[in-house]
C-alpha cells in the first residue's frame, strides 16, 4: 500500500452565506475527499472567528506546515474558502504555490496539477462571490443538515418555546447549537389543541386568545390564518414538517386557511429535536378534527371570488376576507348569502381594529370602473406622445435584468484587474506603492458597484412598472369580465392591482351618510396610508 499524502485541512466559517455551512459539514466533506484521494489529514485548522481577525494567522500556520514539509497541501471545503475575499484567495494561493504546496477542494472536482484543473479553479474563484446557483446549492446542503439535526427548515421563534440561536463563543472558539426550549406559555398551547380536538372551532379559539390578551411570537394578536398554520405544523407536538423542494403539488389556495404543505400528500414528517408540549394522542385527535373541518364546504374552504386576497381594510391596512351574510326573503325565510361581503380580518379575529364591512358587489363594481379609467388614461397618454420618443418597449423585468448583467460584468472586470495587479506585485513587476494605489482605486469602485447591484436587487419588477405595460391585461379584463372564469380573473387582477382598499361608512359634516366604498390601487401606484384602526379616534 502506498503511503497517504499528508494534507492540512482548513475550515472557515465567516461571512453571511458561508456561515450557513457548518464546520461539521465542511469537516465531513474534507474527510470524504481525503479518503477518495489517498490523502491523510494531519492537521485540522478551524477558523471560526466571524470577524476574521485570526484568518491571516491561521493561514500562516497552515503555510508553515507546507514549508516544513509536514504537509503536501491544504484541503478546503470550496476553493472560495481559502481567504476572506476573492482578492485574499489569490494572494494566499500565490504564497502556497511559492512554497510548492497544492490547494485541494473537497467539493469541486478539479485536479490543479493539470492546466485544465487550474483553469477550473480560477473559474471557481471568479464566480464564488456572486453566483447565485452556487449559493442555492449551499442552501440545499444546509437544509439537509437542519433536517438531520431535527430543526425546522427555517429558524425563528415558535410559540410556546424559547428559541436559542446558534452562536459563536469567541473566547472558546466553539459554536453553540441551535435549539428550542419550552417556555411557560406551553400550557395555553396544549389547552388550545385539546379544545379543538374536542370540537371547538379555530375561529373561536382565535377570538378567545384575543380577548385574553395572548399574543403571537411577533408581539401581535393572533389571526386565525397564522394560528392555524402554527397549530397544523405540529411543532408543539414534537414534529417537524418538511415540504419537498421539488414538489409539484398545486399552490396554496388563498381562500383556505390551510398552508400548501398542510394539504400536500408528499410532505415529510420527522420527529424534531425539541421537547413536545402537546401529547401525541391530543395531536392525533386534533389532526382528525382539522381534516374534517377542511372537508366541510362551509368551513375553511370558502368559494373563491375575483377579489379574494386583494381586499384590504383602509383602517388598519390589514387584509379583509370574504364573509357570508343573510337576508330575510318572503315569509321571513332566511336566505344565506355566502361571500356577500368582505370584512377586516383583525376586526373578526381579535378586535384590534374597528374595521370595515363592504358589499362584494360594491367592491367589484369599483374595480371594473377603475380599470376603464386606467385604460382610457393609458390610451390618451399614448396618443399624446410621438412614437419615436417611446422606443423602449421592453418589459420591466428585461430592463432590470439588463442593468444587473451590466453591473455583474463590471464586477468581473474589476476582479480581473485586481488579480492582474496582485500577479504583477507577486512577480515583482510593480512596486508595492503603485500596487496599493491601484488596489484602493479598484476596491472603491468594487464597493460602489456592489452597492448599486444590491440596490437593484431590492427593486422589484413592480416598482419599475409602467402603466402601459399592463394595458393588454386591463383591456382583456374589461372586454371579457363576465365570461372569464373567476380564478383566471383573480390571477389577472393580481398582476395589475396592489390591492383594493375598503373604506368604512361615515357621516359627512352635513349629516348625510356616506356608504362604505372601495379604492382599487394599481401596481404602479402607492399604497394608501391606513386611516387608523379605531372608529372614534
Ligand atoms: Zn407538495
Ligand atoms: Zn382593519
Report whether 197 contacts 287 (CB < 8 A): no
Query: At residue 318, what are phi and psi to the nearest 5 degrees?
Result: -80, -175
Does residue 236 have a pLDDT over 90? Answer: yes
Give 535's DSSP letter.
T
Å from CA of 250 to ligand 1 middle: 7
Cα of 230 vs centre of ligand 2, distance in Å, is: 22
Question: Under DSSP, is residue 7 helix (H, G, I), strand (E, B) or coil?
Answer: strand
Picking from 133, 132, 135, 138, the residue whose alpha carbon sits closest to that of residue 29 is 138
- At 42 the pLDDT is 94
Could you count the other beta carbons within 10 Å of the beta carbon of residue 72? 19
Fold (topology level) of 5-146: Rossmann fold (3.40.50)
Structure confidence at residue 390 (pLDDT)? 44
Domain boundaries, the chain: 5-146, 186-295, 303-400+457-537, 401-456
Per-residue pLDDT tens digits for 22-65: 777 788 888 888 988 899 999 999 887 655 567 778 888 899 99
CA 148 to ligand 1 centroid distance, Å: 20
* Percent of the residues in the chain that have a pLDDT greater than 90, as a whole number: 20
Distance (Å) from CA 473 to ligand 1 centroid: 30
Distance 260 CA to ligand 1 centre (A): 7
Q: Do residues 351 and 210 touch, judged by C-beta distance below 8 A?
A: yes
Torsion sign, CA atoms 502, 506, 509, 511 = positive
CATH classification for the domain delimited by 186-295, as one of 3.30.420.40, 3.90.600.10, 3.90.1750.20, 3.40.50.280: 3.90.1750.20
- CA 355 to ligand 2 centroid distance, Å: 4
Query: What is the reported pLDDT for 448?
Result: 77
Name the closest ligand to CA 248: 1
Average pLDDT over residues 299-313: 72
3-state secondary structure of 337: strand
Separation of 310 CA from ligand 2 center, angstroms? 14
Q: What ipTM is given for this predicted complex?
A: 0.65
Decide: 518 and 367 in contact? Cβ < 8 Å.
yes
Share of the chain above pLDDT 70, in %: 75
* Ligand 2 center to 502 CA (angstroms): 9
pLDDT digits 0-9 by tens, 464-521: 667 887 887 888 788 888 777 777 788 778 878 989 999 999 888 888 888 999 999 9
Residue 297 Cα to ligand 1 midpoint, Å, equals: 22
> Which residues are in the CB-under-5-Å shell of ion ligand 1?
247, 249, 264, 266
Amino acid at each position: 500500500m502506498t503511503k497517504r499524502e499528508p494534507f492540512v485541512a482548513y475550515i472557515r466559517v465567516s461571512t453571511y452565506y458561508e456561515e450557513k455551512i457548518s464546520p461539521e459539514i465542511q469537516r465531513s466533506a474534507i474527510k470524504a475527499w481525503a479518503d477518495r484521494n489517498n490523502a491523510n489529514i494531519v492537521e485540522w485548522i478551524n477558523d471560526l472567528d466571524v470577524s476574521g481577525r485570526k484568518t491571516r494567522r491561521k493561514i500562516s500556520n497552515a503555510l508553515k506546515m507546507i514549508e516544513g514539509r509536514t504537509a503536501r497541501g491544504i484541503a478546503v471545503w470550496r476553493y472560495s474558502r481559502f481567504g476572506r475575499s476573492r482578492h485574499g484567495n489569490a494572494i494566499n494561493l500565490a504564497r502556497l504555490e511559492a512554497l510548492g504546496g497544492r490547494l485541494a477542494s473537497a467539493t469541486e472536482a478539479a485536479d490543479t496539477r493539470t492546466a485544465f484543473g487550474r483553469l477550473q479553479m480560477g473559474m471557481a474563484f471568479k464566480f464564488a462571490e456572486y453566483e447565485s446557483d452556487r449559493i442555492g446549492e449551499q442552501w440545499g446542503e444546509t437544509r439537509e443538515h437542519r433536517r438531520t439535526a431535527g430543526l425546522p427548515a427555517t429558524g425563528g421563534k415558535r410559540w410556546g418555546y424559547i428559541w436559542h440561536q446558534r452562536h459563536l463563543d469567541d473566547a472558546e472558539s466553539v459554536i453553540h447549537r441551535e435549539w428550542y426550549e419550552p417556555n411557560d406559555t406551553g400550557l395555553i398551547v396544549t389547552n388550545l389543541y385539546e379544545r379543538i380536538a374536542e370540537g371547538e372551532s379555530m375561529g373561536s379559539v382565535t377570538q378567545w386568545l384575543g380577548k385574553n390578551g395572548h399574543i403571537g411570537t411577533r408581539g401581535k394578536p393572533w389571526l386565525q390564518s397564522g394560528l392555524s398554520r402554527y397549530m397544523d405544523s405540529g411543532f408543539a407536538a414534537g414534529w417537524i414538517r418538511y415540504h419537498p423542494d421539488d414538489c409539484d403539488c398545486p399552490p396554496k389556495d388563498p381562500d383556505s386557511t390551510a398552508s400548501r404543505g398542510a394539504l400536500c400528500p408528499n410532505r415529510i414528517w420527522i420527529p424534531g429535536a425539541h421537547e413536545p408540549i402537546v401529547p401525541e394522542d391530543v395531536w392525533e385527535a386534533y389532526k382528525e378534527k382539522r381534516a374534517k373541518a377542511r372537508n366541510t364546504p362551509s368551513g375553511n374552504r370558502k368559494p373563491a371570488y375575483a377579489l379574494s386576497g386583494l381586499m384590504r381594510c383602509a383602517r388598519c391596512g390589514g387584509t379583509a376576507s370574504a364573509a357570508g351574510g343573510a337576508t330575510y326573503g318572503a315569509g321571513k325565510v332566511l336566505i344565506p348569502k355566502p361571500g356577500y361581503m368582505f370584512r377586516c380580518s383583525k376586526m373578526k379575529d381579535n378586535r384590534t381594529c374597528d374595521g370595515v364591512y363592504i358589499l362584494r358587489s360594491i367592491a367589484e363594481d369599483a374595480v371594473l370602473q377603475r380599470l376603464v379609467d386606467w385604460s382610457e388614461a393609458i390610451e390618451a397618454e399614448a396618443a399624446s406622445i410621438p412614437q419615436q420618443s417611446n422606443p423602449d418597449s421592453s418589459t420591466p423585468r428585461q430592463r432590470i435584468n439588463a442593468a444587473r448583467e451590466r453591473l455583474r460584468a463590471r464586477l468581473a472586470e474589476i476582479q480581473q484587474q485586481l488579480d492582474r495587479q496582485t500577479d504583477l506585485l507577486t512577480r515583482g513587476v510593480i512596486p508595492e506603492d503603485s500596487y496599493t494605489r491601484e488596489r484602493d482605486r479598484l476596491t472603491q469602485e468594487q464597493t460602489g458597484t456592489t452597492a448599486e447591484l444590491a440596490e437593484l436587487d431590492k427593486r422589484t419588477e413592480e416598482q419599475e412598472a409602467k402603466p402601459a405595460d399592463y394595458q393588454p391585461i386591463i383591456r382583456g379584463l374589461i372586454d371579457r369580465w363576465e365570461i372569464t372564469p373567476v380564478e383566471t380573473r383573480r390571477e389577472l387582477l393580481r398582476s395589475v392591482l396592489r390591492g383594493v382598499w375598503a373604506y368604512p361608512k361615515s357621516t359627512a359634516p352635513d349629516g348625510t351618510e356616506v356608504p362604505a366604498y372601495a379604492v382599487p390601487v394599481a401596481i404602479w401606484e402607492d399604497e394608501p396610508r391606513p386611516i387608523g384602526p379605531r372608529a372614534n379616534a
